Amino acid sequence: MGLLDQISGPQDVRGLDEHQLTGLAAEIRTFLVDQVSKTGGHLGPNLGVVELTMAIHRVFESPHDRIVFDTGHQSYVHKILTGRRAGFATLRQQGGMSGYPSQAESDHDVVENSHASTSLSYADGLAKAYVVRGEDRHVVALVGDGALTGGMTWEALNNIAAAKDSKLVIVVNDNGRSYSPTVGGLATHLTGLRTDPRYEVVLEQVRSRLTGTKLVGPPLYDALHAIKKGLKDALAPQGMFEDLGLKYVGPVDGHDLAALEQALTKAKNFNGPVIVHTITTKGLGYPPAEQHDEDNLHSVSGAFDPETGELLASAATIWTDVFREELVQLGAERDDIVAITAAMLHPTGLYGFAAAYPDRTFDVGIAEQHAVTSAAGMAMAGLHPVVAIYATFLNRAFDQVLMDAALHRCGVTLVLDRAGVTGEDGASHNGMWDMSILQVVPGLRLAAPRDGARLREQLRDAVEVSDAVTVLRFPKGAVPPDLDALERVGSYDVMARAGDQDVLIMAVGPMVATCLDVAQRLGAQGIGVTVVDPLWVKPLQSDLVELARAHRLVVSVEDSGRVGGSGSVLSQALADAEVTLPTMVFGIPQEFLAPAKRPVILDEIGLTAQPLAREITARVAALEGAEEQPDHRAADSA
């Protein structure tokens, strides 16, 4: 029996000796590679925090002491140490274990939201609440230096520093990376701390020499010790934390358990807010991850060969690839186009543009709000910024889109990758909110391409707009074959037209292919169908409303939240035009979706061809029944 088999909770880790702890760390890394190679998931970040997570659980007593993870994808080791090793066989699968902390799984998990730069605010609130309630509990916030580039982190630090009684320990997991190498002024400061040990060396030399002089040495050392802050500022930049009023410990080798436990114990005994700065190596112990220059195998999308780290499935062309290639081409044609991302240069495909035009590429770190407003400033100065982020992260920058970019009619293009249902990463990563929240922004134009050809076309259309915000959204995964329209009529493409004009289906983006399947199924039932792709779903053009007048039933289908989405806008437009037609709006229900593969979720929520066809057929039958039903009201009144 291995050591890992004996771990059912944190208490079992506390009972191990130094030799056993070293063996356990090795077993955990082997286990992680073996399990994630079968399911996919976040490998690199967890390989880098094995010793750090072990040390936290040996010094603090979870769940009495609360451990809050920033970007919870680094919680796999925590899950192992809290008795959930068996669940890894179902990691990120339907009904299985979440890839992030989950309150439903364990009392040891606190925060499920995996959006970065939030943990310190949660931790601040928890720690303050325990003070108010008179509870003797510590709160540990594990935050990566990538997350420290987010503005919300600094808002939290400013408030944490003022809460002198809070038993809050902030552990900075400094691996020099977030998804890609961490950028910005803070990253430079932390690099300085990693590489400049002179402060401790100089201070120790002064201490040893002066304390050897019995009469004047100790008082003189105490006086000289008062220059500590100035010496720190001169030799290493940890003074920036002390300027905020926070106790600083470190930097500490994040793979040295003894050093980690010593530092964490000091922080715990301080009984006030403390920052413990640890230096870790992302992907440590697994050569393919250590040698992976792009992101140290940060997130593996599916099964891979554990010997080489290579994905087993053949690599299909994905939506991101199409965007990457077209943006590089646009960059060659126009020198006013610049690219901005928020710590996701490779996941969003901007690395191609960055390689070709490094001086026109800006990675702002995990700071989506800043990205949008900085883009607005660039647009004001005559550039056309293309901001590429995940759809779910645009939620964080809504005010900046509304008041900073749209209000000033800035020519900014937002490209939202992973829009709609993303699947395995769960509720916080589904990009299901943008279509609804962006509908309220005046002047904004929004497109959802149905295929690669339309993505290229609409990206080119978007960057031609100089007086409004334009948005393109596309889903995760392989791009489908191009779907040519029967014809383009005004603002929309007619994708299918058969039989009588019974049903008009407005299919948005990737739902076009699904709705063409629906049309075939309805046609087999003798129901006439017209399928249209509105191309630009905001603003909704009046010619689409006029087309609806000729049909008996109007249906909208979108891979987005149905409340406030394109279907809702179409229904409102019909009502405003006094077009009294029955409508059916299909979209993602407004609920937090559990992890599962995208096709599984789409089927469960009724966004696949069979359930859609079934519901539409039933509605058509009900309409026909109502039309055939004799009207007894006239006879009764006679």
Residues with active-site annotation: 282, 368, 396
Contacts of residue 606, Cβ cutoff 8 Å, sequence gap at least 6:
586, 612, 615
Would you call 42 helix, strand, or coil by DSSP? coil
Which one-letter amino acid corresponds to residue 241?
F
DSSP state string for 410-435: ---EEEEESBB---TT-GGG-B-SHH
Contact 173, 145 (CB under 8 A): yes
The position carrying tokens 């076309």 is 457
DSSP conformation class of 342: S
Contact 167, 127 (CB under 8 A): yes
Bridge-based pairing of strands 445-447 and 536-538 is antiparallel
| Cα end-to-end span (Å), the chain | 90
DSSP conformation class of 465: -
The C-alpha atoms of residue 461 and residue 482 are separated, in whole angstroms, by 18
Q: How many CB atoms lie within 10 A of CB 402?
A: 18
Contact 168, 153 (CB under 8 A): no
- Which secondary-structure segment (H or E) carries 337? strand 337-341
Greatest alpha-carbon pair distance for the chain in Å reads 119
DSSP conformation class of 541: P
